[in-house]
């Protein structure tokens, strides 16, 4: 059901909006924090509200996002809906794609630097070593702690075990080590790794999930990870914390995961300038998306509430920059603001800005990405299957 505007609803939401959750953060000691890892985007920040939008780059990254979400399906298991991975023919996922987030990680002993791309639509840890000079290649033979029984867990990928350093903490991690044959076109791709942060139902291999395994072995104080943007960084970086938060915070406001697999939760409503526009939003939290993706009919309803808004191409929309809409989304009874309502100007001389919502037909799902997440600390709880948010 879509909500109509009403005076009572407006007053109620304004009252909640005044009480936007505060942040009382001070730098914390590392009690309960297993690791804090800086992460960055390949190619740098995707958009800047103060510059002209790179629509060609936007379209390429949008297509990559849609492809990631097309690799899954929904299944009913008992009394719950589970998101499962579709079988892939030849490789687990692309590495080093423009716009994807990555962490520099030490793998093996002595440590070899491997850039692990962050993927919130899969749960596998895997490393691909190709013959290409691009990327960061892992040489298993150069690690004194590498072990494998040479059992294939995916095409050209064997189950492996080695030391992995996240921040200043060391783990023993099982991962798929993929070495495509020299005759394969895959060996021309960049070397590197994928760090899957989704639930274990989205695995393509039979290997233990990193978080479940680390918690079972007592390596993690808590089965959680958290993401916090560094908005003061011109290149836009973030911090990925494992096992706890990187700073003291008030208790986060949690919502249960609705479909096991993705980090999918229910948002009660979305507002523009104090008016409720949409309700009952099934949103997947995904740091890898630089946009907010939504069903086409929802996107049209959203922009119809902004005077002068008009469609561009490939699902993107624009609106007069002077409108500067104030966007809030309701989570666990509180209103959280979008950090960015613009992805940049359409043209240098244009008075129109590219909006943060983009049309995407994902079977009714929203993907809540960077324009919203830049304003919050997001906490992902494997133990209790929930997502927490706090204002940044």
Per residue in 264-315, pLDDT tens? 999 999 999 999 999 999 999 999 999 999 999 999 999 999 999 999 999 9
Query: What is the band of 182 on the pLDDT scale with cuts at 50, 70, 90?
Result: confident
- List, for residues 88-128, the tens digit of each pLDDT value: 766 677 899 999 999 999 999 999 999 999 999 999 999 99
Is residue 378 within 8 Å of 287, Cβ to Cβ? yes
DSSP string for 22-45: P----B--STT--EEEEEEETTS-
CA distance 191 to 154: 17
Kind of pairing between the strands at 263-272 and 327-331: antiparallel
- Provide the pLDDT for residue 211: 79
CA distance 247 to 245: 5
**For residue 357, which of 253, 243, 261, 278 has the smallest C-alpha distance?**
278
- The Cβ of residue 143 has, within 10 Å, a number of other Cβ atoms equal to 18
DSSP 384: T
Q: What is the pTM of this model?
A: 0.88
């Amino acid at each position: 059901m879509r909500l109509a505007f009403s005076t009572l609803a407006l007053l109620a939401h304004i009252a909640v909006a005044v009480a936007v959750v505060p942040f009382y953060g001070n730098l914390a000691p590392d009690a309960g924090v297993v690791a804090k890892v800086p992460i960055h985007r390949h190619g740098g920040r995707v958009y800047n509200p103060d510059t002209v939008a790179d629509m060609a780059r936007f379209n390429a990254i949008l297509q990559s996002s849609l492809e990631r979400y097309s690799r899954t399906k929904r299944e009913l298991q008992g009394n719950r809906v589970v998101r499962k991975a579709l079988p892939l023919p030849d490789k687990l996922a692309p590495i080093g794609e423009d716009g994807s987030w990555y962490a520099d990680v030490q793998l093996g002993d002595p440590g070899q630097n491997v850039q692990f791309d962050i993927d919130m639509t899969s749960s596998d840890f895997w490393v691909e070593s190709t013959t290409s000079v691009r990327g960061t290649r892992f040489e298993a033979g150069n690690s004194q702690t590498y072990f494998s029984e040479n059992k294939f867990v995916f095409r050209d990928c064997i189950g492996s075990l080695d030391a992995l350093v996240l921040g200043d903490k060391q783990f023993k991690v099982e991962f798929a080590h993929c070495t495509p044959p020299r005759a394969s076109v895959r060996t021309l791709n960049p070397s590197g790794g994928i760090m899957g942060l989704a639930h274990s139902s989205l695995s393509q291999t039979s290997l233990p999930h990193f978080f479940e395994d680390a918690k079972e072995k007592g390596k993690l104080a808590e089965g959680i990870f958290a993401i916090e943007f560094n908005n003061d960084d011109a290149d836009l970086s973030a911090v990925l914390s494992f096992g706890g938060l990187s700073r003291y915070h008030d208790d986060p406001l949690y919502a249960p995961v609705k479909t096991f697999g993705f980090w999918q939760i229910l948002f009660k409503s979305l507002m523009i300038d104090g008016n409720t526009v949409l309700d009952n939003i099934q949103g997947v939290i995904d740091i890898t998306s630089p946009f907010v993706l939504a069903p086409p009919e929802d996107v049209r309803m959203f922009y119809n509430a902004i005077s002068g808004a008009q469609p561009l191409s490939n699902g993107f929309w624009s609106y007069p920059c002077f409108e500067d809409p104030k966007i809030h989304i309701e989570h666990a009874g509180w209103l959280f603001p979008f950090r960015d309502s613009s992805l940049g100007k359409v043209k240098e001389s244009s008075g129109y800005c590219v909006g943060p919502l983009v049309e995407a037909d994902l079977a009714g799902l929203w993907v809540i990405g960077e324009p919203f997440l830049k304003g919050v600390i997001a906490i992902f709880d494997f133990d209790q299957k929930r997502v927490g948010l706090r204002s940044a």
